């Protein structure tokens, strides 16, 4: 299943794609990262070997958010890592691609809190 992490509304906060990619490769040096060259809100896509398998993702340069697909626990771990890159006061949501469920991601959100919201 695919999950997304982004601000719930348009915001002035913005993360440059190069900054995101730099932090991603710093955390996961073996990540396979590709720049998307066609007209798309997604500037980069990546694959990472995670404990539950391959995690695939895309960085949305327009909303400074991410789309991730993989094992739920791996997606949550990646979302919490992404949250750590964002200013503490910036509101972020973790939600499924059908927007059936969502949870506020704060600097203090735990993996258990996210998992409980999706049970």
Closest of 114, 54, 52 to residue 81, by C-alpha: 114
What predicted TM-score, i.e. pTM, was given to this entire model? 0.94
Task: Report whether 48 contacts 26 (CB < 8 A).
Answer: no
Domain boundaries, the chain: 2-117
What's the pLDDT tens digit per position in 11-63? Answer: 999 999 999 999 999 999 999 999 987 777 889 999 999 999 999 999 998 88
pLDDT tens-digit profile of 52-97? Answer: 999 999 999 888 899 999 999 999 999 999 999 999 999 999 999 8
The set of residues, in sequence order, having a beta carbon less than 8 Å from that of 96 and lying 6+ positions away, is: 1, 2, 3, 4, 102, 118
pLDDT digits (tens, 9 = 90+) for 100-119: 899 999 999 999 999 999 98
C-beta pairs of 11-14 under 8 Å, 24+ apart in sequence: 11/64, 11/90, 11/91, 13/64, 13/86, 13/87, 13/90, 14/64
Residues 6+ apart with CB under 8 A from 61: 17, 41, 42, 43
CATH topology of domain 2-117: TATA-Binding Protein (3.30.310)
pLDDT for the residue numbered 114: 96
SS3 label, residue 111: helix
What pLDDT score was predicted for residue 59? 96
Please give the DSSP secondary-structure letter assigned to residue 66.
Answer: E
Write down the pLDDT at residue 47: 98
- Give the model's pLDDT for residue 83: 97
């Amino acid at each position: 299943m695919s999950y997304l992490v982004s601000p719930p509304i348009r915001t002035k906060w913005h993360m440059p794609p190069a900054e995101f990619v730099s932090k991603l490769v710093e955390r996961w040096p073996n990540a396979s990262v590709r720049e998307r060259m066609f007209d798309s809100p997604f500037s980069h896509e990546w694959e990472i070997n995670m404990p539950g398998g391959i995690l695939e993702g895309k960085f949305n340069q327009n909303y400074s958010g991410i789309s991730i697909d993989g094992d739920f626990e791996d997606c949550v771990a990646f979302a919490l890592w992404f949250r750590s890159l964002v200013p503490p006061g910036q509101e972020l949501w973790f939600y499924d691609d059908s927007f059936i469920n969502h949870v506020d991601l704060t600097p203090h959100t735990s993996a258990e809190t996210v998992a409980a919201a999706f049970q």
